[in-house]
Structures are given as C-alpha cells and as structure tokens.
Amino acid sequence: MANTSGNAYALTCLSPIRKGCIEDGSGVGTGTAYSDDVRHRLQTWGLLEHSPMAKVPQTYLCRYFVLDDVYYQSLSGPDFFSTMYDILSFFSDRFREMALPREDHLKSKYLVFSCNLHGDVDAYLRGMWHAIEEDIRRIWGYCYGFEQVRDADSFAAYVRKCQLKASLFFVGSNDDPLPEQLKALYLKQEFSRFAVEHQGLPATELQQAYRAFMQRVQPLNLAGPSWQPGQSTP
C-alpha cells in the first residue's frame, strides 16, 4: 500500500508497551499498568491548539491511542466449505470446529500513533523531536526499545522501526505544506467576508477596498495573518 499521496505522507506506528505494572522506586508495584498510565497521559493532553502536536510542524492530522488487543471478528458467513464442514459434523464435532475462525490476540499492548503529514517523514520526525521532546519521552517512555532513543535521529529511526505499512489518509487535506493550507483557509474565509461586506460598491470604491484588503491579508506572506495549527475558532 502506498503511504504517500503527492507530498502527503500517512504514517502509522505501533510501539509495544511494556507488560506489567509501574514500580515505585524500591521495586514495589504501584498497581498501575504501564499501558494504563500511557492512556492516562494521553487523555490529559490538551486538545486542538492546546495539543503538543499543534507545535509539531507540518502535521495535518494525527491520532494517538492505546491498542489493548484486536477485536474478534465474528463468525465467517456460510461459504461452500463451512457448509461442507457442517454436513461433516454428522461424523464428528472436530470438523465443525475446524470451520470456526481462529481467535487472534496481540502479544502486547501497543501505543498507536497515526499521522498525516507533509513532506519527508524522517525530517518530520526529527522536527517533532525538536518541538516536543519532553512530551515524546512521557508518551513513549514505557515502550520496548525506546531506551535506545537519545536524539532526533534515533527517535526517527525508532518510529520507522515500529512503522506499519498502512495508508490511512485524512481526506480533508491536500498535499500542500501546512502553513500554505492554513493560509489558504484563512484567505478563503477572509475573502468571503470581504465579498459580503462590500457587495454593491461602485467599481472604484471596490477596487480601493480590495487593495486595502490585500494589504491586510498579505496572501503571499505565510508568516503574516493566518490560522494557527490546531486552531478551532476564529
């Protein structure tokens, strides 16, 4: 499955979380499982513009969750073979049981990080480390293998090792760099406001107002007025 779409990249990463419970300093268990603590830490993150991920450059959309186990997918429909097995059950239950789907389980719980981003994935992950190193350490700290992560490069290498080949794309986004998309949204909104506020003006006045508008919104200046990552209200 391709996990690139133009300049957009779909990253899915599953990091196994340590089994067992957190110990206090002296080797005594606290009764809280590592995975439960990771979930708790994620649940105390801020949302939207208050999320640490709003500080990570080029993030279109991302999601974290703790995967406890896989779900049982129910019985398969009656195809030819299961019907055959059903008939054979006349002879033995063993045949019938063979027709049942096997139940799968995960070997450990996983921290799942699913993210749509712009550009090169390694550069993105290094940028992520530089932006929110503390938060990364708090979230990934209980994952197997994370002790090898020391810096931006080793973090990128670690995530890539945990990467799952899946292409989960968020359709609300194209593949332009995030600041360009945010600016485009801002311009679209400001322009429709301009159109509403200035309808019916004589051409010269309209032109004048339009010039002032262009000066204010600075269409080509990405660092100028725009929406901020994660921002949810004007």
Partner 1 sequence: MTKQLDLPDIQGNVVRAYGRFNFPFARYVFFNIRDGRRGRAFVGAVTEQVTTAQRWGLGPDEIPKPPSTVNVAFTYPGMKALELPRASLVGFPMEFIMGMKKRKDILGDDLQSAPERWDPVWRDSREHDRHKDVHMWISINGQSKADVEQRYEWLQQLVAHSAGGVAILSGHRGDDGAEHLPFQDLHVVFENGKPTPKEHFGYTDGIGDPVFEGLPGNPERVTGRGKQMKDGSWAPLATGEFLLGHRDEADEYPIAPSPQLLSRNGTFMVYRKLHENVGTFNAFLDRASRNYPGGKELLAAKFVGRWRDNGAPLVSAPDAASKAAWDEKFAQADRRERDRMLSGFTYDNDMQGAKCPFSAHLRRINPRAALEFTPDAFNTPGALTNRRRLIRRGLPYGEVKDPTRDDGNHGIVIMMLNASILRQFEFVQQQWINYGNDFKAANDKEIILGNHNDQYPSKAVIQSDPDGDGAPYFLANIPRMVETRGGDYFFIPSMTALRMIAKGIVDPT
* Residues at the site binding partner 1, with contacts judged by CB under 8 A: 192, 195-197, 199-200, 234
Specify the residue, 31 or 200, whose C-beta has the smaller distance to partner 1.
200
Minimum distance, C-beta of residue 199 to partner 1, in the bound complex (Å):
5
CB atoms within 10 A of CB 29: 11
Minimum distance, C-beta of residue 188 to partner 1, in the bound complex (Å):
9
CB atoms within 10 A of CB 213: 18
Minimum distance, C-beta of residue 191 to partner 1, in the bound complex (Å):
12
Specify the residue, 21 or 206, whose C-beta has the smaller distance to partner 1.
206
Closest CA to 118 of 25, 221, 8, 218: 8
Minimum distance, C-beta of residue 197 to partner 1, in the bound complex (Å):
7
Per the CB < 8 A criterion, the answer to whether 66 and 114 are in contact is: no
What is the C-alpha separation between 113 and 163, in angstroms, rounded?
A: 9
Helix (H, G, I), strand (E, B) or coil at 129: helix
Specify the residue, 1 or 196, whose C-beta has the smaller distance to partner 1.
196
Per the CB < 8 A criterion, the answer to whether 173 and 10 are in contact is: no
Specify the residue, 68 or 190, whose C-beta has the smaller distance to partner 1.
190
Helix or strand (DSSP H, E) at 63: strand 59-67
Per the CB < 8 A criterion, the answer to whether 113 and 11 are in contact is: yes
Specify the residue, 111 or 187, whose C-beta has the smaller distance to partner 1.
187
- For 62, the token pair is 């991302």
Helix (H, G, I), strand (E, B) or coil at 117: strand
Minimum distance, C-beta of residue 207 to partner 1, in the bound complex (Å):
15
Per the CB < 8 A criterion, the answer to whether 140 and 169 are in contact is: no
Specify the residue, 199 or 204, whose C-beta has the smaller distance to partner 1.
199
